[in-house]
Amino acid sequence: MGENISFEHVDIVSPEGKLLVKDLNFEVKRGTNVMVTGPNGVGKSSLFRIIGELWPLHSGVLTKPAKEEILFVPQKPYLVLGTLRDQVIYPHSHADMKKLGVTDEDLDALLAIVDPARNITTEWTWDTVKDWFHAFSGGQKQRIAMCRLFYHRPAFAILDECTSAVSDEVEGIIYETCRRMGITIFTVSHRPTLAKYHDIILRFEGNTRWSTKMIDSRAEIERDRREKALVRDASNAKLSTATSSSTSSSSSTQSNDVNANSGNAQVEEAQDDEEEDESQDSQQQQQQHHGKKKKKHGKRG
């Protein structure tokens, strides 16, 4: 038993006797997140079966902390018969939780980290009893599993593709929260986008070979943020250009409408002038006609 997890000249061998990884020499210090990657069938998950003592150690020396300091979080978490509360505090009982001084309000705060929209606690209370395997969606199951991790707060957490059904934003929050809580992460994943949350990549190459690579996780996270900001700015610029073009087109249309209306008004005004001239001419003709009549009547008189 030790402070860190270390492998000295360890061979990873399957129960069928197949040698997967040979002579592994590697140490995971507290505070150093490790991502385990590689092709399928090369022994990634097998490494954790040895840590969890599901597989025997065939050769070499494995040093690790007590079982209580290591929590395994699989892709499909184990859900128990009981309340919503029981899903988070497993394997603790409600009485155990109270002894630790943890309240339902504390659970609310932990769950809100991974479920900021509070969809789970809006639909159910902590005392709700359900068939949770069918009640939860895939993403909700993974959120509950991560909330369970935050509740127990172990020294080490082994994550086996357990954030695949949550958004990138929530995934980032999960890893940042683990680092803030002092939980050292051992992640199994095929997704290179997760590398930025780790300090070392342990790659199983196949044919019993392995390699390691150091990562500046903080620099990677900052670079990722800058890239996302550039993409966001470019998207906003396109939207602004499209909006400006639409506004310009609308203004042009309005201007054409104004010009058309102005032209129509001028035509109508000209027509009114013509009608007024015709009316004046008609009035003059009528006055001349009446004048002639008066002259005729004068002669008769």
Dist CA 182 CA 31 (whole Å): 7
Q: Which amino acid is at 158?
A: I
Task: Please state, in angstroms and rounded to a whole number, the distance separating the CA atoms of residues 76 and 94.
Answer: 23
Co-location of 230 and 107 in the same domain: no
Q: Same structural domain for residues 209 and 67?
A: yes
- Is there a domain that residue 301 lies in? no
- Strand, coil or helix: what is 58? coil
Per the domain annotation, does 185 fall within a domain? Answer: yes
User: Can the peptide bond before residue 91 be classed as cis, meaning omega within 30 degrees of 0?
Assistant: yes
Q: Are the beta carbons of 122 and 108 closer than 8 angstroms?
A: no
Handedness of CA 207, 211, 217, 220 (dihedral sign): negative
Residue 285 belongs to some domain of the structure: no
Identity of the amino acid at 45: S
Q: Is 48 in the same domain as 177?
A: yes
Report the pLDDT value the prediction gives residue 19, as an integer from 0 to 100.
93
Does residue 283 belong to any structural domain of this protein?
no
pLDDT of residue 220: 58
Structure tokens at 138: 């895939």
Whether 118 and 200 share a structural domain: yes
pLDDT at residue 292 in the model: 44
Pairing mode, strands 200-206 and 34-37: parallel
Q: Are residues 136 and 235 in the same domain?
A: no
141 lies in the same domain as 235 = no
250 part of a folded domain: yes
> How many separate domains does the chain show?
2
Identify whether residues 157 and 242 lie together within a single domain.
no
Domain match, 114 and 240 both: no
| Domain assignment present for 54 | yes
Question: Residue 136: which CATH number?
Answer: 3.40.50.300
pLDDT in single tens digits along all 301 residues of the chain: 889 999 999 999 988 899 999 999 999 999 999 999 988 888 888 888 999 888 999 899 999 999 899 999 988 899 999 999 999 999 999 999 999 999 999 999 999 999 999 999 999 999 999 999 999 999 999 999 999 999 999 999 999 888 877 788 888 899 999 999 999 999 988 888 889 899 999 999 989 999 999 987 666 566 656 765 777 677 777 777 767 666 666 555 555 554 555 555 454 554 555 555 544 544 444 444 444 444 444 444 3
Backbone angles phi, psi at 285, to 5 degrees: -65, -40
Claim to verify: residue 153 and residue 136 sit in the same structural domain: yes
**Alpha carbon separation from 283 to 233, 279, 292 (Å, rounded):** 73, 6, 14
Judgement on whether residues 175 and 71 belong to the same structural domain of the protein = yes
**Whole-Å CA distances, 159 to 153, 164, 189, 195, 223:** 14, 11, 8, 13, 24
Joined tokens for residue 101? 């001084």
Instruction: Judge if 67 and 49 occupy the same domain.
Output: yes
| Domain containing residue 11 | 5-215
Please report the pLDDT score of residue 225 as a whole number: 61
CA geometry: angle 115, 121, 127, nearest 5 deg: 135
List of residues 6+ apart from 175 with CB closer than 8 A: 33, 185, 194, 197
Buried b / exposed e over 176-209, threshold 16 CB at 10 Å, is ebbbeeebbbbbbbeeeebbbbbbbbbbbeeebe
Nearest one of 212, 199, 217 to 32, comparing CA atoms: 199
262 found inside a domain: no
Residue 76 has a pLDDT of: 86
**20 and 159 both lie in a single domain:** yes
Among residues 215, 237, 263, the one where a domain terminates is: 215
* Number of neighbours of residue 172 by Cβ within 10 angstroms: 19
How far from 118 is each of 44, 140, 144, CA to CA, in Å? 34, 11, 12
259 within some domain: no
